[in-house]
Structure 1
Amino acid sequence: MSHPEYSTCSIHYFSGTGNARRAAEWLADAFRSYGTKTSVSMLSEAESEPDSGADENRLLGFCFPTHGFNAPPIILNYLASLPRGTNDVFLLNTRGGTKLGPIFFPGLSGVALLIPALILLSKGYKIRAMHPLDMPSNWLSLHPALRGNAVTAITRRCRRICTRVAGKISEKKRLYRWFFELPLDLCISPVSVLYYFIGRYALAKTFIATPACNHCGLCVKECQLGAVRFKNGNPFWTYQCESCMHCLNSCPERAIQTMHGVTILLWGLLLMGLPWLLVSGVATVFHLQVGFSTVSLILWLLASVVLLLPLGLSYRLIHYLMRFRPFAALVSYTSLTRYRWWGRYRPGSD
């Protein structure tokens, strides 16, 4: 390449365990090798000045994880706050990749690229590339940590992909690999809607600090969203939590855990049983037929939203009861993240 097609490039990222950050840094290294002056910055709740992108020869990039088959709200809110512009933009979402033997398995994007692209297009920006990156899956609330060798193999593969992607973007070639996956992603898009309006708030109340916590405050200091606070001397997770897994993975005492046992019990009661009781009650009053109909589904969703309040109150009660060792032991021993074999996510070498 004789000269760079873009004079400058600004890459913004949001990252919990570091997957999106590493992708942003790999892309930046590649752009710089092509002669493009590139900056990388992290988005956080403290971000107040949207990137105007006034220079039309300036490339804008956004790297972010996939949460609930959607982009994290902090990304969506930031893009919505951008002024109108005409710059070229690329979007890269990291998603849960895995490896079994010699085979690499991709994750799913859902609407994680579609919604940000629509927001940017509505503001006049030109989408140069939309590309998913199958970084190692790190959702430890759902599954054990991947083994070190698998993580290393996946990350090395992803770095090579980032280098190729940056090269094609630098040549102003359009990358829309994601469109080939669009039919499947649209099929799971209802999950992203449920996650955005219900799931992320419910998941925020699944984290707890056990008596192993030494009150170092690392989880509070490093939360990019300001979602973890001290309450009665112990970490408390608010509804702003995005389940990015940063605190759970970085706690030096492994004191932060997902309350698997308690969560199953609470969700079974509050988010499954009681909503159907409310639906049945409303159906009886208004003489509606309860079944697998659209009306009953809507009523169930509304009831679930309403029951986020008692879920929050239940979490406050659990947080208070954690000061009593028998209860704390019950919560801890029914958490899979307590056990060494469950592991913690550690990025592999490049």
Structure 2
Amino acid sequence: MIFYFSGTGNSKWIAEQLAEKTDDTAVDITTLNMAPELKDEKYVGLVFPVYAWAVPEPVRNFARQLAPNVGFAYGVCTCGAEAGLAMKQLNKIYPLQSSYSVVMPSNYIVGEDIEPQQTIRQKLKEAKQAVEQIADEITRHEPVNRVAEGGMAFLKSTLAGKGFDRFARTTKPFFAEDSCTGCGLCARICPSKTIRLAEGKPVWGETCYQCLACIHHCPQRAIQYGEKTKERGRYTIENYL
């Protein structure tokens, strides 16, 4: 079984591709009330995006619930360029036989604009090739550690990762512009269930993973995070597949 967490679809796509190629099933961890009891699983996969060179909180919490399994355990993280020590962090929580990072289009528009279209399409082309190789290695139960950690990985994954959890996940900058139609899509897809509609407009609670699913999926581009996201593009993988 493959368990995934995804905001704009990158990790979901990876998980579903691997499930198809390894005759497995991909499950969104945010739809589960608790980790299922695993019995006689041939594979156990964890697929997720890297946030600030670290493992996102919902993935850490889910992995702690997973009981050790006799199946081949592997992890795949998606990142814009470097994964830091994210996979090593996960391996301490849930032991893995294989660890991978796959470069995918960047989507954290709180920090910077989305990449040029040519860059996005090239990354996806190379990611498809990477998934083919990963699936083949998993099928053979081949132990692999192919993770692009990058420079100063320890500092990035500890200082930046902890700083992200403590300071960058505030919901105060979120707001919806007048173009919001009150469709409620943001509330339905929010993995932390922190969004509700009040008088036809989204209102954010305190718990947020900073996946930015609400911003990128809004059909009216009405959701912003402060002023800086107004002029920046939006990204969901569905627009490129």
Query: Which TM-score applies when normalising by structure 2?
Result: 0.91
8 Å CA contact retained: 1:30, 1:166:
yes
Size of the alignment, in residue pairs? 239
SS where residue 86 of structure 2 aligns?
Answer: coil
Structure 1: distance between partners of 2:125 and 2:44: 24
8 Å CA contact retained: 1:65, 1:71:
yes
2:153 pairs with 1:185: yes
CA offset digits 1:120-175 (Å, max 9, x no partner): 13xxxxx2211111100011111112222221111111011011011112112111
1:86 to 40, 65, 70: 70
CA offset digits 1:165-192 (Å, max 9, x no partner): 11112112111122x7376321312211
Structure 2: distance between partners of 1:146 and 1:201: 23
Structure 2: distance between partners of 1:169 and 1:177: 13
1:221 to 176, 188, 192: 188
Structure 1: distance between partners of 2:74 and 2:100: 8
Higher normalized helix content (fraction of residues)? 1
CA offset digits 1:196-231 (Å, max 9, x no partner): 2x12433x3221111221211111111122021224
Moved over 4 A (4+): none
Residue 345 of structure 1 corresponds to which residue in structure 2?
A: 235
Aligned-pair CA distance for 1:336? 3.1
Structure 2: distance between partners of 1:86 and 1:187: 34
Residue 26 of structure 1 corresponds to which residue in structure 2?
A: 17
Larger RCO, structures 1/2 (Cα 8 Å, 6+ apart): 2
Residue 253 of structure 1 corresponds to which residue in structure 2?
A: 220
2:42 pairs with 1:42: no
Give the greater-gyration-radius structure (CA). 1
2:28 pairs with 1:60: no
Aligned-pair CA distance for 1:233? 4.5
SS where residue 25 of structure 2 aligns?
Answer: strand
1:156 to 112, 125, 150: 125
Over the matched positions of the two proteins, sequence identity in percent amounts to 24
Residue 91 of structure 2 corresponds to which residue in structure 1?
A: 117
Letter in 2 for 1:29: E
Change over 3 Å in CA distance of 1:110–1:181 after alignment to 2: closer
Residue 276 of structure 1 corresponds to which residue in structure 2?
A: none
Query: Which TM-score applies when normalising by structure 1?
Result: 0.64
CA offset digits 1:103-127 (Å, max 9, x no partner): xxxx222332122211113xxxxx2
Letter in 1 for 2:191: Q
After superposition, where does 1:1-350 map in structure 2 within 5 Å?
Answer: 10-31=1-22, 37-44=23-30, 46-55=31-40, 58-96=42-80, 107-121=81-95, 127-178=96-147, 181=149, 184-188=152-156, 189-196=158-165, 198-202=166-170, 204-231=171-198, 233-259=200-226, 335-339=227-231, 342-347=232-237, 349-350=240-241
Change over 3 Å in CA distance of 1:337–1:183 after alignment to 2: closer
SS where residue 125 of structure 2 aligns?
Answer: helix
Letter in 2 for 1:38: D
8 Å CA contact retained: 2:186, 2:218:
yes
Residue 268 of structure 1 corresponds to which residue in structure 2?
A: none
SS where residue 113 of structure 1 aligns?
Answer: helix
8 Å CA contact retained: 1:66, 1:112:
yes
Structure 2: distance between partners of 1:119 and 1:112: 11
SS where residue 53 of structure 1 aligns?
Answer: coil
Aligned-pair CA distance for 1:60? 0.4
8 Å CA contact retained: 1:25, 1:40:
yes
Aligned-pair CA distance for 1:49? 3.8
Structure 2: distance between partners of 1:148 and 1:39: 31
Change over 3 Å in CA distance of 1:94–1:223 after alignment to 2: same
SS where residue 20 of structure 1 aligns?
Answer: helix
Structure 2: distance between partners of 1:85 and 1:27: 19
8 Å CA contact retained: 2:185, 2:218:
yes
